[in-house]
Structure 1
Amino acid sequence: MIIIMAGGKSSRMGREKPVLKIAGKEMLLWVYEQAEAVGEVLVALSRHTPRTRELCLREGIEFVDTPGRGYVKDVQWLLREFGPFISLSSDIPFVKSSDIYSLLKEFDGKVSLTGVLPLEVVPKDLTPYSYMGYAIVGINGVAKEGEKFFVFSNPLLALNVNTPRELELAKRVAEIIRVRGIR
């Protein structure tokens, strides 16, 4: 199962992120469409995302309500409720179905896989959360035991839209993708 995490407070953005539009389409839909091409998808919401709930209802997207006590606690709750799953952040609009599929192929449901990018492939305009020479990206295999890194090659996974500046950057990238017919 693939679960899109869309229940956060969006405190750095100042407004509910999953419903913000990039190139005329809500950010959640950018992620959802790629995930749906790979397998069964569920969107994790909370009391913090009422507009995202409305979007899911309007689009016929299946969702679940989490306790909304923070990302880690919600992921732990989802793991208890559903077992191992692929987790996608709703704010990584340039994830590709091939990214999700490559992680899914390696995920055995026993050991967690943390999605990363080598820092040298991260575009210079971005300052992602980094650890041990890697940028942590918003796509993971969530399991109960251990943790290994899973290295992606798509540099746009580093564009995690958390701030108004990153939203503007995502809009520019989306325009380039649209013009060049990429995706």
Structure 2
Amino acid sequence: MGREKPVLKVGGRPMLLRVYGEAEKVGEVLVAVSRNAPKTRELCLREGIPIVETPGRGYVEDTLFLLREFGPFLSVSADLPFLKASDVMAIGEAFDGRTSLTGVLPLDRVPKDLHPLTYRGYAVIGLNAVGTEGEKFFELSNPLLALNVNTPGELKLAGRIARLVEKPFKAFRELHGGG
């Protein structure tokens, strides 16, 4: 997209802050950054978000680096603006600490306007549990996880969805003293 995706805004907030805020509700979160993401690092430092440096040689290499450094862990992409804490909790509860879990959505749960990466009849989601002994799919239920922001069109769609989904809840909270 020509820019670091984690710092792009959806609903007025950088996607990284949206994802971090939900993941943090479940447990300790470290943001993996490399020399390839200086604006993401800057955002984390400004917001007081803990980071871990990776070699920056690619997703697979960085994931293996993190596995060697920390052992099994949950991984979530910063470009999933509609991730919920319950999504992270669900995969975390199913993770046995050994077998990797790839988060997926059945295609019948994917909204019609979205065209996610598909494999074996599922939409592959950027929420995973990284283990050391094999891999299996883990079905998630949040249909908005299918919106992994990879293009300017998807960023625009995420902005429209954020306005539709979040404003009613914000207005409700304000009316009922929730700020």
TM-score, scaled to structure 2: 0.93
Partner of 2:167: 179
Partner of 2:67: 79
Partner of 1:151: 139
State how many pairs are aligned. 170
Structure 2 gap ranges (5+): 171-179
1:177, distance to aligned residue in structure 2 (A): 1.4
Structure 2 residue 17 is matched with structure 1 residue 32? no
Secondary structure of 1:139 counterpart:
strand
* Match runs of 1:1-183 below 5 Å: 13-181=1-169
Distance 2:36 2:153 in 1: 22
Structure 1 stretches of 4+ moved >3 Å: none
1:14, distance to aligned residue in structure 2 (A): 1.1
Bigger Rg over Cα: 2
Structure that is richer in strand per residue = 1
1:104, distance to aligned residue in structure 2 (A): 0.6
1:162, distance to aligned residue in structure 2 (A): 0.7
Structure 1 gap ranges (5+): 1-12
Q: Percent identity?
A: 65
Distance 2:117 2:25 in 1: 28
Question: Counterpart of 2:133 in structure 1: which amino acid?
Answer: E
Distance 1:126 1:73 in 2: 29
Distance 2:93 2:157 in 1: 31
Deviations 1:75-125 (A, max 9, x none): 111101110000000000101000000111110111000000001110111
The 10-residue stretch of structure 1 (107-116 or 171-180) with the greater mean CA deviation from structure 2: 171-180
Question: Counterpart of 1:151 in structure 2: which amino acid?
Answer: E
CA RMSD of aligned residues (A): 0.9
Distance 1:15 1:116 in 2: 26
1:23, distance to aligned residue in structure 2 (A): 1.4
